[in-house]
Amino acid sequence: MAVRLGLETPIKYIKGIGEAKSNAFARLGVETVYDLLSFYPRGYEERGKTVSISDAFDGELCSVIVTVRETSAVKRLRGNMTVFRSLVEDENGAMELVFFNCPYIAKTLSSGRKYRVYGRIRIGHRGKEMVSPKLEPIIKGVELPYYIPIYRLSPPLTQKAISQAVLEVLPLCEAIPEPLPESVRTSHNLIKQSEAVRIMHVPKDEKELSLARRSIAFSELAVFRLALCNMRSNTDRVKAIPLGLKNVGSKNFLESLPFELTSAQKRAVKEIFSDLGKDRPMARLLQGDVGSGKTAVAAAAIYLCVKNGYQACMMAPTEILAAQHKKTLDKFLSPFGIRTELLVSGLPAAEKRRVREGIADGSINVAVGTHALITEKTVFNNCALAVADEQHRFGVKQRAELLSKSEIDGRRAHMLVMSATPIPRSLSLIIFGDLDVSLLDELPPGRQKIETKVVSANDTEKVYEFLRKETETGGRGYVVCSLIEENEENSDRRSAESYFAELSNAVLKGIPMGLMHGRMKPAEKAEVMNDFATGRIKVLVSTTVIEVGVDVPEATVMIIENAECFGLSQLHQLRGRVGRGNKRSVCVLVNGGKGEDSADRLKIMRDTSDGFKVAEADLERRGPGDFFGVRQSGEFSFACSAISDMTVLKETDALIKEIRENPNDPEYRTLFDSAKKFLERTGGGLTVN
């Protein structure tokens, strides 16, 4: 029996969505009809803008209206591969369409049929051609869409499957609640949320799409800012356990560190100690560039907590980083009799049980781990300080869960969150509106400057020869790729798997190499990373899974393929994986883009090593959307790239100030209701006044 669909209906009831697709959607954070409507495209193919064959240039991604002139027979190649070619033409020229392993297309491409073809032009031995283009038949009376939405994928989902599911539920946009009062929409030239959401999936033109993006960005930011303001005011009313400085030997601890703290670190420690001494919970962000010494500052806070008779915990986003933190904290804290243990899902069952028992009975002073720290099975004895590393990987929900595990007699634990992602101050005030900020704006002495070079995809032979020589003299290197494997979503980019296969059989043949990506099991990743750290592997081919926290001082070379596909701030994070020892280190950005814009962006990386300058440049060139583009399952997400300029941020900031000054104005009730729902959805456990 057909189920009547509503916004809260599970997506498995949508026509064409079975168990496998439902599970794939869940991995993308999409579980209900409302989630699907809020699952905005990550981009669009502008297929309605067509060019003629004669005007199309080598490397151009474009649409062409063509007529099939003739087709060849399907040809079998080695390794069970097939190739099929079709000669097509328009009024100004001709080119070939080339298809690999698609013999069924031969039956549809008959002479005289007309198509809109979309793909990348290249000059082959036989002239202009498109390899594996997307085909749309031209049918009289049927108008082809100008924009084709492109969604993030999770196997076995395809672009077609997601688009069909979205079209099934698009009429339900009318039921989407409106968070903004009409007066606000009118004064800021915004459209209704329901209309904006519909347009995001089926835009007619750039003007309509821009208005929809701006309207969604405004309402999302307004709800988010209001929720953060109320979280902060609620936090200020909650009690915490004050941690005193008397007779705990904090000076001895700081002097015991194997290095002199920078003035920025000393300032941060002073600010944190001051917060910890109060009876309201600390809610502080420790923000610093890669290598600025955040872990040492966190260790000082943990030391103070334990010496006051309480437990502390530190949560990291990956098992590799958690293990690394455990090792570092153990080195700093064990001389003072402080016991630190690791809790991650990859541990053997008996080991996990032993660690959890130690956490529960209080014999373990410091628990370092991943999300295993916030599962039901983990019970703390008397945790008074919770540290979350890489704040951008954990949202409000995870922070709230960690705090709820750490309550003592109704008093909340102090919270310290750390981030190495450089974020401009103008944005950090919005993203971290519920947190005070300590900034580590200088690097410890001896930290190596990383030489950054930008090369084209045609010059990589010299780059890999340089990498070979580095490994032969004791160095190690990373090769970073944006994809795990080739797929339909990114057909113009090479994957980590293909680079690993090619390099190990050609230019780097004979050099011990490893492959690491996010689909590997934690134990497999840990083994590869350990082999790289100990030198059994000299070159590590990886996706951005190595972006966060991996510390191998012997690594002196990083090669980032398709660097134009990354944000500048992410490139800066990746670059920070080298230059951690005492040898000269080089980061090579391989530009696979064809336009001048990608080259200009990458020159910024070449010319500055200051993460905050990089972030400001990224903000100026790409807009705030690049910082808000990450969607977390069960977490609030911003419409990717919707926040296109700082004007929206300033306008919502002014609106929130107006609302806070007039909290009882009934006109803003819908916004308060939306903020309350946001906090309920993210598990904040906080109420909105």
Model pLDDT for residues 301-358, shown as the tens digit of each residue: 999 999 999 999 999 888 888 888 999 999 999 999 999 999 998 899 999 999 999 9
pLDDT tens profile 104-138 = 888 888 899 999 999 999 998 889 999 989 999 99
Q: What is the dihedral of CA 269, 272, 274, 278, to 10 degrees?
A: -160
**Residue carrying structure tokens 């090669």:** 559
**Greatest alpha-carbon span in the chain:** 89
**Residue carrying structure tokens 């031209």:** 138
Q: State percent of the chain over pLDDT 70.
A: 86
pTM here is 0.67
Q: DSSP 3-state assignment of 434?
A: coil
Task: Give the H/E segment covering residue 43.
Answer: strand 43-46
pLDDT tens profile 438-485 = 888 877 776 677 899 999 888 888 899 999 999 998 899 999 988 765
Enter the tokens of residue 9.
């209906």
Which amino acid belongs to residue 517? H
Is residue 176 a contact partner of residue 185, using CB atoms and an 8 Å limit? no
**List of E strands, 401-550:** 414-419, 436-440, 450-456, 476-480, 513-516, 539-542
Mean pLDDT score, 402-431: 74
pLDDT band at 689 (very low <50, low <70, confident <90, very high): very low
What pLDDT score does 621 carry? Answer: 65
Rounded to whole angstroms, how far apart are CA atoms 65 and 31?
Answer: 39
Rounded to whole angstroms, how far apart are CA atoms 456 and 59?
Answer: 14
CATH node for 48-144: 2.40.50.140
Q: Is 193 exposed, middle or buried (0-12, 13-18, 19+ CB in 10 A)?
A: buried
What pLDDT score does 642 carry? Answer: 43
- Say whether pLDDT at 369 is over 90: yes
Identify which of 195, 153, 173 has the alpha carbon closest to the alpha carbon of residue 30. Answer: 153
Residue-range domain boundaries for the chain: 48-144, 238-440, 450-608
pLDDT: is 682 or 213 the higher one? Answer: 213
Q: Does domain 238-440 have CATH number 3.10.310.30?
A: no
48-144 against 450-608: fold identical: no
DSSP state of 240: B
Architecture of the domain delimited by 450-608: 3-Layer(aba) Sandwich (3.40)
Enter the tokens of residue 478.
């990373």
The span from the first CA to the last CA of the chain, in angstroms, equals 43
Is residue 325 a contact partner of residue 295, using CB atoms and an 8 Å limit? yes
Q: DSSP 3-state assignment of 14?
A: coil
Ranges of H-type helices in 95-178: 159-169
Identify which of 453, 255, 390 has the alpha carbon closest to the alpha carbon of residue 335. Answer: 255
